[in-house]
Structure 1
Amino acid sequence: MIIRFLRSMMGRNGGGNPPAVVAETTYQGYTITATPSEDPGGWRVRGQISTTADGSAQSTTFVRADVYGSQEVAAEMTLAKARRLIDEQGSGLFQSPH
């Protein structure tokens, strides 16, 4: 039980390997990579948004509380949520919090 909890906190493989890319797309000059993580209740929305601005690569990873029954649905929802984040925040996604 404790091992299952620790694995869920660090990712299925204990944090040793990067999460598997399930889907990837571009949207308004940003690359969105869906990497849903396995959760005891299903698959959690997780992804990365990246871009290159002024010759510098920038990226941010996001995780949401949403959990779905299949990895494919979680990936679709990851892409949708990333598009919304881009629409709402644009380049502000890459600014460090104060």
Structure 2
Amino acid sequence: MIRIALRASRFSARWERLQVTGGIERSPSAMAAECVMSFFKSLFSRRPAEEPAAPKTVKTLDHNGFHIRAEPFLAEGQYQTAGVIEKEIDGVRKEHRFIRADRFSSLEETAEFSLTKGRQIVDEQGDRLFK
């Protein structure tokens, strides 16, 4: 009789756990392993990358025979310095794209800085930029 009472109490305790966990009975070690795996999955899983918008020319400038276009783009809520330097050499139009780590909150400010960086690159490298 005592055995039947023990089995009944074990059964009722198990039944209560099943009701609390939504019908899934898991051991504490299984729940801990699930938490750890969930952490690593969220840590190492790839999130879908946002599709960057195509850069638009905001401002242009001619400097020492080079045509500089400021093309800043939105990155992580700020505008990143970027642009294109072009020059026609032997009848062929060549271009050099540049991206800098500098970011600004204003599109206008970023465009001005992109033109400044473009002028600096042209002054430092000149025609060697395309070799």
- Bucket of the pairwise TM-score, normalised by the shorter protein: 0.7 to 0.9
Work out which structure has the larger RCO, using CA pairs closer than 8 Å and 6 or more positions apart in sequence. 1
Distance 1:71 1:36 in 2: 7
Task: Tell me the residue number matched to 1:59.
Answer: 95
Flag the structure with higher strand content: 1
Superposition pairs of residues 77-88 of structure 1, within 5 angstroms: 77-88=113-124
Q: What runs of 5+ residues in structure 1 fail to find an aligned partner? A: none
Is 1:26 matched up with 2:62? yes
Task: Tell me the residue number matched to 1:93.
Answer: 129
CA RMSD of aligned residues (A): 1.6
Fraction of identical pairs, as percent = 33
**Amino acid in structure 1 at the alignment position of 2:88:** T
Structure 2 length-normalised TM: 0.61
Task: Tell me the residue number matched to 1:45.
Answer: 81
Distance 2:108 2:86 in 1: 21
User: Which structure has the larger Rg?
Assistant: 2
Task: Tell me the residue number matched to 2:47.
Answer: 2
Distance 1:2 1:46 in 2: 25
Distance 2:82 2:88 in 1: 21
**Amino acid in structure 2 at the alignment position of 1:2:** R
Residues 47 and 63 in structure 1, CA contact (< 8 A), matched pair in contact too: yes
Give the Å deviation of 1:2. 2.7
Flag the structure with higher helix content: 2
Distance 2:47 2:129 in 1: 35
Residues 45 and 64 in structure 1, CA contact (< 8 A), matched pair in contact too: yes
Residues 41 and 67 in structure 1, CA contact (< 8 A), matched pair in contact too: no
Runs (4+) off by over 3 Å: none
Give the Å deviation of 1:41. 4.2
